Amino acid sequence: MENVRRDLILMVRLQRIYDRISELLVEQRTPPEEIRELHEENMRRKQELEAMEDQIEQLRSEAEEVRAKETESRAELEHFQKQKATVTNEREFTAVINEIDFATKAVEEAVARRKEIEETVAGLEQEIEERRQSRPEEEASHQQVVQQWEDKKHELTETIHELAHEARAIEESLQPANRSRFLRLLKSRQGKAISVVIDGSCSLCHFELRPHVQQRVRRAEEIITCEHCHRILVLPNLEELFPDDAAAG
């Protein structure tokens, strides 16, 4: 009987340790707002850089087409300029002059567009370079934030290990049947093997206990489980009610 009460007290302590471990795991998975913002900012920067690189690629392929057009128009221009020397009448002369004007305009347009593209590409390349040089995650203030979070995570891991160690020690001092019962419940009941009885009900599933069950929980002489959620039931102040058992545990 006393062994049961002692085990109940140990299980309450064990549950407290597992609750703390779950809290710490959540904390570890939740980076601070600054870190999340930094991460988002980096993602955004990366996407913007990629968009600019895509734009450069498109402009370069357009520049190639423009250059081809320029070469073609220059060849035409040369051809009509040669032809101008061999015209025999006014009508032919006018026609050749028109062709020359047309080809000249085409060359000028191609050159203008090519220059425009080259300037845009140069501007984009400079922009990319500047952005690459100012990487926010490498800036001192950010680096500090990142380092602090890394340290914090490391610290949390250490604490979790210590708590797990503590839990193992308590588990070892439980009677084997109670230990496996507790661990089974912990696993199948979302990390909650123990439920406290409040106002005559199981505080986790809110099932109302029959008076004689409440009575048995109060005595803490046997392991009583909730009829609905099957968790082990205890009174909230178990350790205070049985200080001798608490001290022995």
Residues that bind Zn ion (CB under 5 A): 202, 205, 207, 226, 228-229
CB of 203 to Zn ion, least distance (A): 8
3-state secondary structure 182-214: HHHHHHHCCCCCEEEEECCEECCCCCECCHHHH
**Structural contact between residues 1 and 221, judged by C-beta atoms closer than 8 angstroms:** yes
Cβ distance to Zn ion smaller for residue 96 or 234: 234
How many residues are recorded in the chain? 249
Cβ distance to Zn ion smaller for residue 77 or 217: 217
The SS3 assignment for 144 reads: helix
CB of 221 to Zn ion, least distance (A): 20
Cβ distance to Zn ion smaller for residue 28 or 201: 201
**Structural contact between residues 230 and 189, judged by C-beta atoms closer than 8 angstroms:** yes
With CA atoms as reference, report the closest residue to 10 among 232, 212, 228. Answer: 232
CB of 229 to Zn ion, least distance (A): 3
CB of 217 to Zn ion, least distance (A): 12
Cβ distance to Zn ion smaller for residue 134 or 190: 190
Q: Which residue has the tokens 């009610």?
A: 241
